[in-house]
Structure 1
Amino acid sequence: MDPTGKPTDTTVLVVDDVPAGRYAMGTVLRRAGHRVIEAGSGAEALAELDTRLRKGTLPHVALVDTGLPDMSGFELCRRFKERPHLIGLPVVHYSAAAVAPADRCRGLDAGDESYLTVPAEPEEIEAVVRAAVRGARLRADNRALVRRLTLLSETIVTIQSARSLQELADAAADGAARLTGTPAAVFVLDPDDELYRGLSRDRAAVALPDDGAHLAVSALLRRLSRGQSGVRLTTVPSPLWPTGFFRPGVQHDARLALALTQDGRAPVCLAVPARGMRRAGPESEALLAQLAEATALAAEPLLMYQVERHVALTLQHSFLPQPHRLPELPGLDIAVRYVPASRQTEIGGDFYAALATGDGMLTAVGDVVGHSLDAATVMVEIRHALRAYCVDDSDPGILAERLDRMLQRYHPELTATVCLALTDPATGRTRIANAGHIPPLLLRDTGTADYVKARGPLLGPGLPHPPPTELFLEPGDRLLMVTDGLIETRGVDLEISMEQLRSASLGALPGLDALCDTLLASFGHDREDDIAMLALRLRSQGDTASPGGEGAVQVASASSLPTRSVKGPPDGS
């Protein structure tokens, strides 16, 4: 029993080769309420501990006689400390003969907690055992706290590197599960009531909560976060907490750590089963609160980026010409595509343009280097400048030089790429000026596809631009201009990607829409950059363009402006 008279849960290993000694020590310990395991040698003690390790029933303390027959008690203690699973087992040496200061020093050097001279009073033996167990538990608690703090730090680093609110929720859920040893769910509710949900990896991806459950969580978060400041810990009983977030089809009371972003607009909620938190202890709850606060802080720049991205996408959509506003010239068909990058990536400055001039149709595809609202804004400036410049002179080479000077003067910190093509529908004569862009792909009606040999420095550095490259389109020929967002892949050489694009173009059906749709289907999924694509075709004699049919000017986008929805990993992910 402990000093208050309560029974203990302590198991003591007594190692002594003398049966009478084991009996005497065991009797004292049993009378004090401890469970006792006996061993008559060092080897027997090690074997007993190996057996108990497999069962998960290691003792809390070992009392070891120094004079064992097969090895000294000091050597046995050293062997305990050499084994990772026994390093935390406190050892108390005892002896009736080896009682000199040198013997006590040998025990300390071997790693013991204390040293008893026997015979000893029962009260002293009990006090030494209690002190050894108390010290071991304190060290174990400290090690566990260090592990949890390390996990917290690692999780915070991970969530701070998240590139989207969905990545943030997933990372925070995994971190919360590791901190508490229970399943976890994390929710971020943005100002537009879009709920992002992350579930820890130990939650099987089956029977996931339905939309009704997510709506219930959204309403609960709005209600609980009203007027809140700081981090709030609260328990929501199972009738109010939807089923299935922690385990499929199972109801739980939920322990929530709720935090708000600094502007107070977006609640962040970390949820774990309340029963699991009671087992994990108050330290885990405090760490969960810290993680909730860190998650809210990490959500702020992502929420700001969402707003910026929405503005940039709106800007791009409003300034890129729509199908009914693209110019038309007899004998020439044009098709365009614009696909914003996936929502996990930043907005870029990709654009296309088609302008009817006195010398023919001027088409352009370009990309402002960088990913930000600034890049999208400069893209708009370049398009407007191009529109103004071609009123006086539509020569692609002159236009490239003027755009270069404009960028140097007003945006010297930025660069851009652009490919300009001026096509005369009557003759097929096409002049191309390329400023650091992927060269156009010429698909002849005869079945060949080759990149036009048009090269030049990008816009911005002020380097001299070569004269335009000239070629002639035959009826049925197609000219394809794209931004690198269509084919550029991290870790893959651009030349290889360009060859893949050429091969895919050869496999497309005739017509502009078929070409564009084939390429988007082949390359346009989950891209890290925007995609702008423009294709033109010199119409064969007798061809007519009909709205909505082959040859019509069309715009298609594989992505649209953000809409409200519940975000989370799909079933089976």
Structure 2
Amino acid sequence: MDLNGKLTDTTVLVVDDVAASRYAMGTVLRRAGHQVVPVATGQQALVELDVRLRKGALPDVALVDIDLPDMSGFDLCRRLKERPHMAGLPVVHFSAAAVAPADRCQGLDMGAETYLTVPAEPEEIEAVVRSAVRTARLRADDQALVRRLTMLSQAIVTIQAARSLQELADAAADGTARLIGGPAAVFVLGPDDELYSGLSRDRTSLALPDAGAHRTVAGLLRRLTRGQAGVQITTVPAPLWPAGFFRPGMQHDARLALVLTQDGQAPVCLATPTRGVRRVNPEEEALVAQLAQAAALAAEPLLMYQVERHVALTLQHSFLPQPHRLPELPGIDVEVRYVPASRETEIGGDFYAALRTDEGVLTAVGDVVGHSLEAATVMVEIRHALRAYCVEESDPAVLAERLDRMLQHYHPEVTATVCLALIDPGTGRTRIANAGHIPPLILSNNGDAEYAKADGPLLGLGLPHPPPTELFLEPGDRLLMVTDGLIETRGTDLSLSMEQLRSAAVGALPGLHALCDTLLACFGHDREDDIAMLALQLRN
């Protein structure tokens, strides 16, 4: 556009089978500063447009004579408008012959912008072209804005559905990349200075930035957001921004949209490249800033949950005896394991215990139903109640009854599973009470393995518990107790998972340490529930 507001950078397709008319129209348009592409027929126009479409350089407007030798100008307009990638091309019909109003209406119905009667004054031709192009560009801008707003809303919905900070960063990076049509990176810096980074999917996974690059970004985010409020837009020059976040091994200036969470603690950053890749678009930048704000709002509850989960895990671990702090148990070796669920999962109520009693060694593995801080708290109560009860009573079935009554009295809405085993190290006599839990797996010294036939109702239901199951362990035999978090998988029958556990245990090397490590290696990856495991063996 020149200083007088005239369009001078447009390309005009002129479709006219009369050479003299094409020449005259082209001369007028060229003098006005336009580039002209003249063709004689409708088919030639379609071929020319296909070629230019592949090159990404469609004309800005088409002037189409309605009387063409191979098709009418109306038919050509219809065919153009039916093609998705050409539908936005403005069409102006013209004719030197008298045309009835009904025919003009037909052209408009086909999607043409207007109708021009020739011969016409150059100023009129230029005004018609200018109007058609401006209208089309405004329409295209409106459509592009609608698409971007739709992409923004879709990205926000995906971000809000994220279950972890890593999922949030990945979703925000993909949403940003779609908004700008290029690579993007997103960072969330937690209160513990742990950096969660997400890269858009169009970026290759090769040559990912190393830990040093992430530390550099974390330091930049802390410095840039210190004392800031609201959304901050800034550019970090390539020498200060680590290479590889946008293109493998390449440095770019980084355009950052920075915003703090509402508590002002955790910076959220949406980063896009500028140098040699793309120019800053104010409209895109405004949308990216909105996306950054949405990401910060979505990050806050995830950060709060992370802190709460850390507190709950600390509480849970503080009440579970560590392996090196287990009491000395005469005649029995014990190995325990505890593995929290994945970061995305709420804390559970799994526990284990190994206690000395007057009648031998009492071991227990249990799980409070549910995943919450309350479940972890009730787990602590059950474990302490068990420690208190077994001072005067060792019978596992009696202990199960007492734990059941305790839950009904203090936590009537809570249920739990527990398996209790009382072992006499001198004789190998073992009594087992099972309250809705996976029964113990007995691995004989001869290589056989089978589950103890012990079952009973969950704790907290008030149902009577059967007498304990009694069996005898030989020296070298191993008894394994686990929570269902080790093997339970959605969509898989628990009996099948128990058989897989039995087979894996049979194939483990001798010893308690090897048994626990083998089972965790087979089943303990990315579990949705906590895992508690206790294995014991009579000494020879």
TM-score clears 0.5: yes
Alpha-carbon distance in structure 2 between the residues aligned to 1:276 and 1:410: 67
Q: Which residue of 2 aligns with 1:93?
A: 93
Alpha-carbon distance in structure 1 between the residues aligned to 2:274 and 2:162: 28
Alpha-carbon distance in structure 1 between the residues aligned to 2:341 and 2:156: 27
CA contact (8 A) 2:436 2:457 kept: yes
Deviation at 1:280, TM superposition (A): 5.3
Match of 1:393, SS?
coil
Question: What are the residue-to-residue correspondences of 1:384-399 with 2, within 5 Å?
Answer: 384-399=384-399
Q: Which residue of 1 aligns with 2:297?
A: 297
**In the alignment, residue 160 of structure 2 is paired with which amino acid?**
Q
Deviation at 1:152, TM superposition (A): 1.6
Q: Which residue of 2 aligns with 1:216?
A: 216
Q: Which residue of 2 aligns with 1:154?
A: 154
Deviation at 1:3, TM superposition (A): 7.3
Match of 2:390, SS?
helix
Query: Which deviates more, 7-16 or 345-354?
Result: 7-16
**In the alignment, residue 411 of structure 1 is paired with which amino acid?**
H
Deviation at 1:210, TM superposition (A): 3.5
CA contact (8 A) 1:255 1:277 kept: no
Alpha-carbon distance in structure 1 between the residues aligned to 2:73 and 2:531: 74
Question: What are the residue-to-residue correspondences of 1:34-113 with 2, within 5 Å?
Answer: 34-113=34-113
Question: Which protein has greater RCO, CA pairs closer than 8 Å, 6+ apart?
Answer: 1
Alpha-carbon distance in structure 1 between the residues aligned to 2:215 and 2:166: 17
CA deviation map 1:91-144 (0-9, x unaligned): 111123243221221111111111111222211111111111111111212222
Relative to 1, partners in 2 of residues 1:75 and 1:423: Cα closer, same or farther, differing over 3 Å?
A: same
Runs of 5+ in structure 2 lacking a partner? none
Q: Which residue of 2 aligns with 1:462?
A: 462
Correspondence 1:285 to 2:271: no
CA contact (8 A) 1:180 1:276 kept: no
Query: Which deviates more, 497-506 or 150-159?
Result: 150-159
Give structure 1 regions of 4+ aligned residues with deviation exceeding 4 angstroms: none
Q: Which residue of 2 aligns with 1:245?
A: 245
CA contact (8 A) 1:277 1:284 kept: no
CA deviation map 1:234-278 (0-9, x unaligned): 112223323332223322221110000100011111111134786
**In the alignment, residue 281 of structure 1 is paired with which amino acid?**
N
CA contact (8 A) 2:7 2:130 kept: no
Q: Which residue of 2 aligns with 1:520?
A: 520
CA deviation map 1:415-445 (0-9, x unaligned): 2111111112222222212112111111111
CA contact (8 A) 2:173 2:185 kept: yes
Correspondence 1:381 to 2:359: no
Alpha-carbon distance in structure 2 between the residues aligned to 1:33 and 1:395: 100
Question: What are the residue-to-residue correspondences of 1:197-216 with 2, within 5 Å?
Answer: 197-216=197-216
Q: Which residue of 2 aligns with 1:431?
A: 431
Deviation at 1:208, TM superposition (A): 3.2
Alpha-carbon distance in structure 1 between the residues aligned to 2:354 and 2:392: 16
Match of 1:525, SS?
coil
Deviation at 1:7, TM superposition (A): 6.2
Deviation at 1:289, TM superposition (A): 0.3
Q: Which residue of 1 aligns with 2:409?
A: 409
Alpha-carbon distance in structure 2 between the residues aligned to 1:171 and 1:241: 22
CA deviation map 1:500-552 (0-9, x unaligned): 11001001122211111111121122222211100111222xxxxxxxxxxxx
Alpha-carbon distance in structure 1 between the residues aligned to 2:197 and 2:335: 39
Alpha-carbon distance in structure 2 between the residues aligned to 1:88 and 1:356: 83
Deviation at 1:296, TM superposition (A): 0.8
CA contact (8 A) 1:13 1:61 kept: yes
**In the alignment, residue 172 of structure 1 is paired with which amino acid?**
A
Query: Which deviates more, 275-284 or 40-49?
Result: 275-284
Q: Which residue of 2 aligns with 1:229?
A: 229
CA contact (8 A) 1:478 1:536 kept: yes
CA contact (8 A) 2:148 2:179 kept: yes
CA contact (8 A) 1:329 1:425 kept: no
Q: Which residue of 1 aligns with 2:144?
A: 144
Q: Which residue of 1 aligns with 2:328?
A: 328
**In the alignment, residue 25 of structure 2 is paired with which amino acid?**
M
Overall identity of the aligned pairs, in %: 81
Relative to 1, partners in 2 of residues 1:523 and 1:10: Cα closer, same or farther, differing over 3 Å?
A: same
CA contact (8 A) 2:6 2:130 kept: no
Alpha-carbon distance in structure 2 between the residues aligned to 1:153 and 1:288: 12
Question: What are the residue-to-residue correspondences of 1:127-206 with 2, within 5 Å?
Answer: 127-206=127-206
Deviation at 1:2, TM superposition (A): 5.4
Deviation at 1:383, TM superposition (A): 0.4
Alpha-carbon distance in structure 2 between the residues aligned to 1:6 and 1:111: 25
CA contact (8 A) 1:17 1:68 kept: yes
Query: Which deviates more, 191-200 or 106-115?
Result: 191-200
Q: Which residue of 2 aligns with 1:14?
A: 14
Q: Which residue of 1 aligns with 2:532?
A: 532
Q: Which residue of 2 aligns with 1:353?
A: 353
TM-score, normalized by length of structure 2?
0.95
CA deviation map 1:22-47 (0-9, x unaligned): 22222211111111112222222112
CA contact (8 A) 2:2 2:8 kept: yes
**In the alignment, residue 40 of structure 1 is paired with which amino acid?**
A
Query: Which deviates more, 463-472 or 345-354?
Result: 463-472
Q: Which residue of 2 aligns with 1:122?
A: 122
**In the alignment, residue 86 of structure 1 is paired with which amino acid?**
M
* Aligned residue pair count: 540
Match of 2:68, SS?
coil
Query: Which deviates more, 268-277 or 470-479?
Result: 268-277
Alpha-carbon distance in structure 2 between the residues aligned to 1:220 and 1:331: 58
Alpha-carbon distance in structure 1 between the residues aligned to 2:317 and 2:213: 35
Relative to 1, partners in 2 of residues 1:117 and 1:370: Cα closer, same or farther, differing over 3 Å?
A: same
Correspondence 1:422 to 2:426: no
Deviation at 1:217, TM superposition (A): 2.0
Query: Which deviates more, 411-420 or 270-279?
Result: 270-279
CA contact (8 A) 1:181 1:280 kept: no
CA deviation map 1:277-300 (0-9, x unaligned): 863511110111011111111111
Relative to 1, partners in 2 of residues 1:301 and 1:276: Cα closer, same or farther, differing over 3 Å?
A: farther
CA deviation map 1:446-491 (0-9, x unaligned): 2111111222222223333332222222222111100111112233
CA contact (8 A) 2:348 2:376 kept: yes
TM-score, normalized by length of structure 1?
0.90
Q: Which residue of 2 aligns with 1:554?
A: none
CA contact (8 A) 2:274 2:280 kept: no
Q: Which residue of 1 aligns with 2:444?
A: 444
CA contact (8 A) 1:229 1:260 kept: yes
CA deviation map 1:36-71 (0-9, x unaligned): 112222222112211222222211111111112222
CA deviation map 1:353-400 (0-9, x unaligned): 111111221111111122222211111111011111222322222222
Deviation at 1:307, TM superposition (A): 0.9
Deviation at 1:21, TM superposition (A): 2.0
**In the alignment, residue 238 of structure 1 is paired with which amino acid?**
A
Question: What are the residue-to-residue correspondences of 1:502-521 with 2, within 5 Å?
Answer: 502-521=502-521
Relative to 1, partners in 2 of residues 1:3 and 1:326: Cα closer, same or farther, differing over 3 Å?
A: closer
CA deviation map 1:299-355 (0-9, x unaligned): 111111111111111112211112343233332221111111222332211110111
Alpha-carbon distance in structure 1 between the residues aligned to 2:464 and 2:82: 72
